[in-house]
Amino acid sequence: MTAVITNQEQTTRLFSHLEFDGNKLNHQPGSVLGSTALIAGTTVGAGILALPAVTLPSGIVPSTVLLITVWLYALVSGLLIAEVTLNAMRLEGRPSVGLLGVVEKTLGKLGARIAGGAYLFMHYALLVAYITQGGDILVSAIAKVCGVENLVPAWVGTTTFTLLFGGIMYLGRERFIQKLNSAFVGIVIVSFFGLLLIGGGHITSTQFLFQNWTALGSAVSVICVTLFYHNVVPVVVSQLEGDVRKIRKSIVIGSMIPLIMFLAWNVVILGSVSSEIVEGISAGKTVFDPLQILRSGGAGEVLGVLVSVFSEFAIVTSFIGFVYGLLDFFKDVSLISQGESSNRLPLYSLVLFPPMTFGTLNPSIFFVALDYTGTFSISVLGGIIPALMSWKQRQEQENLNSKEQQLVPGGKVTLIVMIGVSLALMVRQILSIY
């Protein structure tokens, strides 16, 4: 239940989440910590373990610059989505509007269809990856404890992961899931620092001297996908009751935590690579495995536990964020209310069973497709669409002499830059195919 805040009330909230407790109403405000953890958890997926594989050809300094640049691009995009979502909530008088709902209200049905196609593909493809990898790690750990390694078929892990964590989201209340996700993010951070401590002793200063700026282009697509969290921004706006200060704080801090983790991980791995390994990779004789760099330090058993814990919970936090994103998508499309118990089962089935099925049958089809369309989906959803929506909303506000608060400074110049960067990424991806 929600209540709209009047102008006379001294508050920054757009509305209030209220819940009956006996004979009285209690205010159930969203948590900045929980929303920050949702963004951070959605961003930090298992892709962090493979990130050095695409940054290795360019070196530490160039890839560090690229990571920070893409993070700034993603931050502006996330704040733009929060801005247009907030304005859409004000106009609609609704406490929850998903990303696709905002697109349709702002850019019409054509814009919604374009964004919807990119959104749907991206979410299902990544959920296939998370469910497959998460299930494999989960079942491998259980099989090792039970002494039946290599005897459990892959589909068991995929199914178990989906039913376990999907079931928790289906049965749990939103506040419980928020707290659980925050705890998972804490586990990810603690285990990650353990990995850094193991790898820190292998860093050599000579690796910082290697720089190949021309090799950055091949890493852009993967980094863009890795830093994508924009699907949960409307969820954060709703959880924090439209409070602009809290929303901005959650997005900035929530995206900065993964950035720091990515930068540290990138430095540790690339700084630990020997010249022999680099030569072997260049000659095509060696397949680059970031974890093999750490295993060379003789901490194999400890590392194995840390890698399993970090990977599994990083996948779970991303899984939660992307499930929320698809739930919002289908609620917008079908106007189904997630809170109605009669509608929750078909809604969750629509979100979870397709990726579970593809993950069981043939997950590689999605991974191959991501290599070619990841840039297009991120450019459309994270760059072009948010900029166009903000442009139109701001123009309408000027015509109405409205003074709605903007989360992103720079006016039209910022929006033009966002669209230009997105188009450049798409053109580069097309040229790389041919």
The pLDDT value recorded for residue 6 is: 43
Q: Look at 198 and 190; give whichever has higher pLDDT.
A: 190
Total residue length of the chain: 434
What is the average pLDDT across 408-420?
Answer: 88
Residue 117 has pLDDT above 70, yes or no: yes
Residue pLDDT, tens place only, 130-147: 888 888 888 877 777 776
Q: How far apart are CA 269 and CA 286, in angstroms?
A: 16
Q: Sorting pLDDT into bands at 50, 70 and 90, what band is 263?
A: very high
Domain for residue 429, yes or no? no
The pLDDT value recorded for residue 62 is: 93
Domain for residue 186, yes or no? yes
Domain for residue 431, yes or no? no
Q: How far apart are CA 266 and CA 53, in angstroms?
A: 9
Domain for residue 271, yes or no? yes
The pLDDT value recorded for residue 76 is: 93
Total number of domains constituting the chain: 1
Q: Look at 149 and 3; give whichever has higher pLDDT.
A: 149
Domain for residue 418, yes or no? no
Q: How far apart are CA 75 and CA 71, in angstroms?
A: 6
Residue pLDDT, tens place only, 322-341: 888 788 778 766 655 545 55
Residues 6+ apart with CB under 8 A from 246: 12, 30, 32, 35, 240
Domain for residue 134, yes or no? yes
Residue 129 has pLDDT above 50, yes or no: yes
Q: Sorting pLDDT into bands at 50, 70 and 90, what band is 68?
A: very high
The pLDDT value recorded for residue 291 is: 59
Residue 181 has pLDDT above 80, yes or no: yes
Residue pLDDT, tens place only, 12-42: 655 444 454 556 555 456 678 888 988 988 8
What tokens does 1 get? 């239940």
Helix (H, G, I), strand (E, B) or coil at 2: strand
Residue pLDDT, tens place only, 372-406: 666 777 888 888 988 998 888 888 777 666 656 67
Domain for residue 132, yes or no? yes
Residue pLDDT, tens place only, 153-179: 777 888 888 899 988 888 888 778 888
CA 373 to chain centre: 17
Domain for residue 169, yes or no? yes
Q: What is the CATH number of the domain that holds 288?
A: 1.20.1740.10
Domain that holds residue 265: 2-371
